[in-house]
Structure 1
């Protein structure tokens, strides 16, 4: 029987039969033992993964018969079709999606000249068609036998990642190793998914780390899914298996537009737009010092309580969520009082800034739920560049032209109030609950600063301090102070929160805003 790399025509075989034989051989991967080894690692093959991602029977492959042209190092005798990457397009819930998948069974999924050329062509097609691109990564990096041409292939991918950024959604799914320069392509995309135990990302592997620094670490300890999902923030979501991972990739695609010229898909809902949200009064404690889970607030407000949270285990003091309001996709940024009291720090600022930029790029309106005591104080934060990192979130909001609505749920203090999409930095509509407190700082701290002499000179300093706290709250922190000065557009009944938000975003749906003419801004790095 002819092998997949054998172009000799079998006796009696016509050109169509030969084509079908070659393609069938290419799709089978040529080596059943390699497939068994892949499955033994708990990993699917490239085509099995594509079948899980796309609608059944929708995949249209291109360049199935592509082969490398490398010579030397025994490469002439090893010229399998596909060259280790499967490329093409199909549909997810009927919408076109482009996909490429490394085939680890062929050269370990390593990238060579032909391999890269296939990916370049697919990325260009995705941009031309205005459709999302999903990469299923399972490769051993650059193909050493092809030298600098393999490295140049990565350069072409990085260039296209950057050129397509904010134009079409780009999703990287890490299903195996990704080391060295190859890791920069996922880092340039909009979302990174990883699977525990089988996927790793790092610039230098454990052996190099030990040789240079003396540190001993495993591959998963250095760049596994949980490390990147909870510590580095490189990964947006981590999963226990490939099936659940790819199911969520499909769900994410259902929330995103095909490109930056379209709106996200609308889905009709049976959840009434004017549904009352009386339960919010129970979910949020009146005492600004008490903790609660902001996720429950979001679930109460959005359609059917369904949410898609981004970075759920990294920078947990801020939430970034995609959900629908009256059928329309909305991006939600919210302080999380149950983690570090919802304070903003370096990681939370970076996380929220990136999410705001993604929403703005793909025409997703932004709702900001505010309950923030300020920025996290400390030497580590200052030396780590909290000013620079906090400015990233400020820059992202100020630069966003999509509809923006902010709602102060409980408290908003200091510079963090301004940064969390306040009216002063361009929120289209700023709302607040009757229990809101907006101030430069908490009443206790403010009283200690303003009235420190009165307190120090009193016979009973604590009694005077408490009295001054009450005076400060009554004068500057009452719920209607900001509304009286036009910094809050309306104070709303918590039970009418959903209805108010739905109506407000409906009014803003035709919003048009232009940024100043410029090549691009110079965002804080």
Structure 2
């Protein structure tokens, strides 16, 4: 463990106010310097910044107001009585990001490895309570070694208090966890309870049981990054929403995310005037999206064409790539976009994609962010693995999230919208306020060829020329039930629009729905298919 330099304390009972004030300033200066140059150098050698350096990058310059900098633990025994550094390994307070209040706590790995003891936990509890009372976002900068072994059960109880407050604040204030070092055991559950998790490659890891325990129990050999590194959680487990190469880039993106979120669930997201006209034509969309439903394309290019200045923040970019979840602005208003991604698995919905989109829909609904759903989905992914993995239950999560959402909801069908996946992707029947479609849309139970094979199976089998009959029946099904205006004739699509008008139509829809009010049934809470 790093040797700590004990800051001087004010113990004299005599002396003038001026003397005592001078002594206090001296002590505060030493507290701000931290445990010493050697410990700071060791932190920098690992490619990591100190707690205060991180706070300085996150918050607006000069805005940080620290609380309880002089707090120390009161534990005795096991060597702790001789080492009682101020702050107890966590820096807490508030400041501003783009001029708006944000609460923050940052583990100081230089002090007890950032481990959590009683005093450490109580500081975090206090800042969490203040954030909830003030109705402002909470950002945690995590770089700690877990529970402080020397303090026993009081350390574990400290984590329980954090988890309870995470749950109480969920859906009330935005909670963002930034992983900047190791996070093992029960400590990993607090980030998992928050709205967003950021990680930095090579320096941050999250796991419940470390590589040594895994090897001892299962015989599997794996390193820390391979078990719980940033890329693993960003692309395999889905625990991390964002992964970055360095801390500075990571914290800058946290600032950008905060600019898109409201302070709390009682406010609208911040409006930002734009020079990008709401009625800007989208002629490029006719080239970006092929009319042939079997040809892939990148839905990100479509989103960039629709939103203000082509700028958006993609959530879970590397996990469940067959569906996109992004935060952006349309005519200055923040929106959440859920979109099929034909470039990955043809845009089908599977277990991971359903869970990813459901979580995002719930986030947007909790924080008054309107939803725009761009649909080009051929269905749910078939297969034994998906069925045995619970695709019914996981798909129902997305269905439940949309049905429960009361924010403005606009659906746009670009090409395919087949089967249950069409319903789940915020169709009119599950509560979309407005639904639009391009002239290339196909809404049906399944593709025409498959449908004809089922409906006309006997006729095809008995025909002298089965292929000719199959082709004829396929065309008939397309013409009768899959033509672009079939759904519009029945009121399930509000209008079939020119793709070039997409941005203006969505902007107008969001504007008219801005004052939408909807109430849920009177209940304690629903019982979603978790």
With the length of structure 1 as denominator, give the TM-score of the two structures.
0.99
Quote the Cα distance in structure 2 between the aligned partners of 1:305 and 1:5: 54
**Contact 2:6-2:85 within 8 A present in 1 as well:** no
Equivalent residue runs for 1:272-421 within 5 Å = 272-421=277-426
CA contact (8 A) 1:292 1:337 kept: yes
- Deviation for aligned residue 1:30: 2.4
**Pick aligned residue for 2:85 from 65, 80, 83:** 80
Contact 1:437-1:478 at 8 Å conserved across structures? yes
C-alpha contact 1:5 1:81 (8 A) present in aligned 2: no
User: C-alpha offsets along residues 394-449 of structure 1, whole Å, 9 cap, x if unaligned?
Assistant: 00000000000000011100000000000000000011011100000011110110
**Residues 213-224 of structure 1: pairs in structure 2 closer than 5 A:** 213-224=218-229
Deviation string 1:355-375 (CA, Å, 9 cap, x unpaired) is 000000000000000000000
Question: Is residue 26 of structure 2 the alignment partner of residue 21 of structure 1?
Answer: yes
Gaps of 5+ in 2: none
CA RMSD of aligned residues (A): 1.1
Tell me the equivalent position of 2:7: 4
**Map of 1:461 onto structure 2:** 466
Distance 2:8 2:491 in 1: 73
Among 258, 262, 271, the alignment partner of 2:267 is 262
1:376 Cα offset (Å): 0.3
Q: What is the aligned length?
A: 524
- Is residue 516 of structure 2 the alignment partner of residue 511 of structure 1? yes
Distance 1:115 1:24 in 2: 20
- Alpha-carbon contact 2:371-2:409 (below 8 Å) kept: yes
Give the superposition deviation at 1:467: 1.1
More displaced 10-residue stretch of structure 1: 98-107 or 13-22? 13-22
Determine the C-alpha separation between the residues in 1 that align with 2:70 and 2:342.
55
1:488 maps to which residue? 493
5+ residue gaps, structure 1:
none
Give the C-alpha shift of residue 8 in structure 1: 4.5
CA distances 1:329-355 after superposition (whole Å, capped 9, x unpaired): 000000000000000000000000000
Q: How far is the alpha carbon of 1:3 from its aligned partner?
A: 4.4
How big is the shift at 1:7? 3.6
Matched, 1:189 2:168: no
Contact 1:83 1:106 survives alignment (8 Å): yes
Equivalent residue in structure 2 for 1:120, among 125, 147, 154: 125
Q: Is the 8 A contact 1:252 1:308 kept in 2?
A: yes
- Partner of 2:102: helix, strand, or coil? strand
**Which residue is equivalent to 2:427?**
422
Q: Distance in 1 between matches of 2:140 and 2:133?
A: 17
Is the Cα–Cα contact under 8 Å of residues 115 and 145 in structure 2 kept in the other structure? yes
The answer as to whether partners of 1:406 and 1:430 remain within 8 angstroms in 2 is yes
1:18 offset after TM fit, Å? 1.3
Aligned positions of 1:160-171 closer than 5 A: 160-171=165-176
Whether the 8 Å CA contact 2:117–2:158 is kept in 1: the answer is yes
- Moved >4 Å (runs of 4+): 8-13
| Structure 2 residue corresponding to 1:250, chosen from 247, 255, 270 | 255
- Map 1:143-182; keep pairs closer than 5 Å: 143-182=148-187
TM-score (norm 2): 0.98
Structure 1 residue 27 displacement after superposition: 1.2
Q: Does 2:181 align with 1:203?
A: no
Q: Partner residue of 1:71?
A: 76
The residue that corresponds to 2:116 in the other structure is: 111
Q: Secondary structure at the match of 1:26?
A: helix
The residue aligned with 2:56 is 51
